[in-house]
Structure 1
Amino acid sequence: MRIGELALVTGVNTQTLRFYERRGLLPCASREANGYRHYDEATVSRLQFIRASQAAGLTLTEISSILALRQVGEVPCEHVITLLTGKLQDVHTRQRELALLETELQHLIEVSQDLDPADCTAGAVCQIIPHP
């Protein structure tokens, strides 16, 4: 299939496909006599893997490392588990940070209810957000 067909089948635009090829995430496509790229079904499968990996939070560099292991004949499952475990830890850290931010925002909103805009001084930007 040509690049336009591949884009249609996978939902990945042609610019992204070319980018993935330059980055080595996709093997270089064979070329037809007219110079058009030609892709096979294995490319569709690889793109589906890339998209699913991105949905799981993996970066292109991490995805590339998985593909590289597979390319040299290794089964990348342990590596994938390590990457996903790290992503999960990142999510937990971010959830804690967001919970703290939520508490702070709720506090600022509650405090703002008791403030009088007439009390703002010309030198202060906003009395709701305290600063030294």
Structure 2
Amino acid sequence: MKTSELAKRAGVTAETVRFYTRKGLLTAARNPENDYKLYDQSALERLRFIYQARAIGFSLKEIEEIIQYSQQGNSPCPKVRQMLGKKIQETEKKIADLTVNLSMMRETFSEWANEPDMVPDGKAICCLIEEWSDKHDALPEEAEHEQP
């Protein structure tokens, strides 16, 4: 089947099929008459596998690693369990951090509700933000050096 047909049957865009092919996650034969890429049923099954793995939370790099491990004749299941366990821990930490951040945001929003609006004077940009650090603990040093 051609790229567009595979995409349609898998419920993805043709560009997604092309992207996964460039990444090496899908393989295609070439039609010698017109040089079109031709995919077989295994490509559709691979696309479904990728979709399911992405839905669980695996990155494309991790999916590639899982596929390569399987292609080497090894059962990837123990590795997948270990990877998912690590992802659960990382996600729980992110949720905890986001919960703390959300609480701080709500508190700040409530504090700002009755603060007056100020016109920039050439020195200040937004007094709400600039005066915020006076009322709260300073940022940890590593946060000051973070990249956006």
Fold shared per TM-score above 0.5:
yes
TM-score (norm 1): 0.88
Compute the displacement of 1:126 (Å).
2.3
Are 1:117 and 2:117 counterparts? yes
Compute the displacement of 1:131 (Å).
3.7
1:13-92 alignment, distance < 5 Å: 13-27=13-27, 29-34=28-33, 35-92=35-92
Compute the displacement of 1:22 (Å).
2.0
Letter in 2 for 1:112: W
Aligned CA-pair RMSD: 1.8
| Contact 1:111–1:128 (Cα < 8 Å) also in 2 | no
Letter in 1 for 2:124: A
Q: Which runs of 4+ in 1 moved over 4 A?
A: none
Higher relative contact order (CA 8 A, sep 6+): 1
**What percent identity do the matched residue pairs reach?**
32
Compute the displacement of 1:113 (Å).
2.1
Compute the displacement of 1:127 (Å).
2.9
Give distance in 2, aligned partners of 1:127 and 1:44. Answer: 56
TM-score (norm 2): 0.79
Give distance in 1, aligned partners of 2:124 and 2:23. Answer: 50
Number of residue pairs matched by the alignment:
130
| Contact 1:108–1:128 (Cα < 8 Å) also in 2 | no
